[in-house]
Structure 1
Amino acid sequence: MMVWQQQCHLNDNTRNMMKPFSIKMRIVALTIGLLLTLVFFRLIVALPMMQSELHTLVSAQQFSIASYIARDIDHSINARRALLSGLAGRLPTELLADPVAMANWLKLQHQVNPLFSRGLSVIRADGTGVIADYPAKNGRDRIDFAGTEWFRTVLQGQAFIIGKPQRERVNGTPTMIMAASVRDGQNKIIAVLAGMTNLDAPGFLDGLQQTKLGGSGDFLLVAPDDNVFIGAGDPSLVLKRTPISEAYSRYVRTRTRPGDITIAPDGTEELSTVASVPSMGWVVVARLPTQEAYAPIEALRNVMLVGSLVVLLFLLGVFHLMLPRVMRPLTTVARSMRSMADGSTALAPLEVQTNDEVGDLVQGFNHLVACLAEKETALEASEARMAFLAHHDTLTGLYNRGMLEDHLQRALARAERHGLQLAILFCDLDGFKPVNDNFGHDVGDAVLVEVATRLSRGRRRTDTVARQGGDEFVLLLDDLEDGHVDAERLARQCLDALAQAYEVVGHRLALSASIGVAVYHGSGDAVSATQMMARADSAMYRAKRAGKNKICFNDEMTPRPNEQPANAAAPHGSTPARAHKQ
């Protein structure tokens, strides 16, 4: 128990050092760790997955819009191709000689189908000027078209040609020319019908330039083979060379619909998706800055971070308010255990108040207390048993020789100090040896136990009854008024008690005893315990020699009270040699 309490004191001394690792701190640390792990998972795993899904979704939407615009552009070009080819096929050849009539015919056609915003022109086959045009423009009859690439291509026999977009010389407006050959009955080119339109003309590319994608995204129309922008949401890019034409050209060749992160001409990172215009080999690029495309993800990331911070602060507040209350039963139990360990309160079981882990702890502690109490009781019983055996005879339970000597020494000291009297009665059974020899030691031991019972019966609290060894018993009578009289009276009682028949283990036995008495009168020379025992022992042997079942005092020459001794007693105060006992 002391070792356990010392260990508890040691644990109590180290308790403060372990405070940072308390259950409260571990619960808080675990919760924060789980929250941070969740935030980390969301930021590192969940958000990239969501961003990838958003990337796919936005790319699909961009491709859908870009494909629609590309089809619209392709439709516009094919409509102009069909119109110009049809006009070239049904142009009245006789009007080639009448410019005014030709101009009126062109006017009528343009009013019916005004697809060319810059008008229609009929050019001489040698390219030396315009025969007629509508709307009429001064000086066009003197323009030499023979040197232009698109005109030479028409003359080489191609029925229809679309020239490369270019800026008009006068006002710099981006324009594009389409031309078809006019043939006679022999399929000979006799003129060229040309139509010119502004790129941003209504019904052509104006929708591409005016349509916005999201808040800041737009569309580009790129000619990969020429490495120029045909149309763009930013008018300043039109007809400028593009450094990313290779990528767009690759998309056209592989017929893919990518949604890639690219770098815009102004250096902005953007999400681009491409759709092709089949009739021209152009591509429509839908582009949206990634900052805007992934704005929901960024907003969600900010919400997660702010929300996690709010949740963390909320949890810390909850822990601050609730954990002490939740941990109070455990704290109370720990305080009670520490109080018991300190010795402030007695070690006792605690009341089980909750059916949880704290209750299990209390039950475990109560079991420990019960075990300790049981062991302590067993130890006390063992110590008491050992103490009893150290001072008592193991067979009869009477005091042993060592305890008798101790009591005798103290009685002698008390008698000498206060002038009191005491007496020692040395009893030895007569004829005990044949009992062991004839009936066995079990019967002999039972007889000795019965003798001890009879000698102890009726004794005062101050008297001492001891077993000297074997069949010898000693009675110490303390605080006597008349040593001889009191000792003789008690000795007679002992003889009468011991002379009664013994019923033990199915046998009826008769025994007697010889008693030697030594009396100390409390005056005269001091005497030791050994001397007193020797005197009583000597008197006992005189009683045996006198015929047994006798009482003999060490200061008498004859035994008392019954019969005269058969032999002369030893001189007063002498210690005879021990004779063989019967």
Structure 2
Amino acid sequence: MKYGIAVKLALLLAAVGICASALTGAYSYGVSRSLLVESSQQSLVAATQVLGRRVDTSLEEIARNLQVLANHPSVRRTLKQPDPQMNAQLAELFELMMQANPAYFQIRLISADNFGLEQVRVDRLGPSFINVPEADLQEKGHFSYVSETLQLPSGTVYMSRITINHERGVYTGAERPSMQLAMPVRDTDGKALGVVVINLDVDGMFALLATDLPLDFRLFLANGQGDILIHPDHSKTFGFDRGRRVLLQDEFAATRSLVTGATSQVVFQQPTTDGLLQPVVMAFVRQPLKLRSEEGQLYVGLAQPLSSVREGARHLGLLIMISVLGFGLLGLLGTLFLARLVLRPLRQLIAAANLFGRGQEIGYLPLDRQDEIGELARSFQQMQRQIGEQLGSLHASQEQLKQMAQYDALTELPNRRMLQDRLDLAIARARRHGGCAAVLFIDLDNFKDINDGWGHDAGDAVLVAVAQRLRLSVRDTDTVARLGGDEFVVLLDGPDTERDAALIAGKLIDCLSPGIPFQGGTLRVAASIGISIFPQHGITAPQLLMAADRAMYSVKANGRGGFGFAVLQD
């Protein structure tokens, strides 16, 4: 059987296409596999950094709890003049705080007198708590978390090293990894009356911090000298407590640059070792501690099985192989079909299709032919006309949907969705350039009375008038949005000071004071405005909106018709 030039050309093109697809697929698989591994490593580093920041945040939260306890009036009174009833009340307070913080082993109030005698002590015992009786209270003045804390200024936190708790008389915390955080209690004259001490369950704290991590991740922790504190193989932890030191830099050689201070983070692949049943990708970061501490810094690490990292690459390779085979087969069938067509009219159709794809005039088509090519050309011309009409209609529909999705139908102001997008952009811009952004949450004070007394048409008229006045009272770069009902939000993109935001809030209140004509009468509304500023009152869009909302309700509670700022975040 003889094959014509069209069949031969089709087979040749199909073979070239399949080979090119195979080479492209192989190259794409190699590059994509490397990118997947690199991306997984970067994600692991990011997760480790987040975990390190969570550690510092948790310690700062404990410091705030110590601040609350150290400044509690009952604490000072019982240190000056012990009273059993007062001690019982403090024990209840300690127990409530331990219920809210599962990682607290123990909270104690220790006097500066009587060799550091414990005045109040609550210990955790499994799911319950023990208010240690007076007869079992101990003298702790010889411990550094007492003697050194008494020398600190008021409000300063002492943080001990992370060690195994060998103190006698301890309940759940006995022989467990722990550290003590303490703060001095001073009277109004600055005299040290005692210390408040929180004994922290280190394993429990890190277990809570790691709850969001995938189940196959493994957590590592080392102190400032590199002593391993958390490791899947528990025999490698707290070696210094057993007379030998197991150091991070010895266990994982790649971390030496981290411990020596040459870098702040490392990521590497680690083969199977004790405690690691399979090869893993590991990331370690150095986390400086903001609190006064004997540790100074911690080294936090995460390990992810290398098999899970490579699993995505295997799936990718399978998909590429299937795609190459499938498209190769389709290409073979397509070229066999196309090769049977007349080349010249086909080129004309291809040229016309390319022009149409670029949105240009399609030019000449072989419309006068009476064969299949002519019919195809006429069908193409008709399709081009129909698609043009459909594209125009689709474009109009898209514009209408965009308007409905981003703007309020009544006031034509941006809605909550568009406000969220613009607020995110304003926050990103302020964070990048060191500026600020302000959110003014506006609620009309007597809008319900207008709706009830005049009807919903009057309410709609008021909302439209308020929207116009607000829009005319701010800059073009600012955003006025309606959240729903009688709630509006004004986003000030970059006020210089809180005073600027306050001036604009006053201007907005003034612009709403004139009456609104309606059906021969006059409608009057007032507004309460809550103000939040980035970054003082929040660093995300939900935080800023919530802070401004709370500030607005505070204004309403204090008499309405004014404005107020949100409470500063700690």
* TM-score, with length taken from structure 1: 0.35
Question: Per chain length, whose mean CA-contact separation is higher, i.e. which structure has more relative contact order (CA < 8 Å, sep 6+)?
Answer: 2
* TM-score, with length taken from structure 2: 0.35
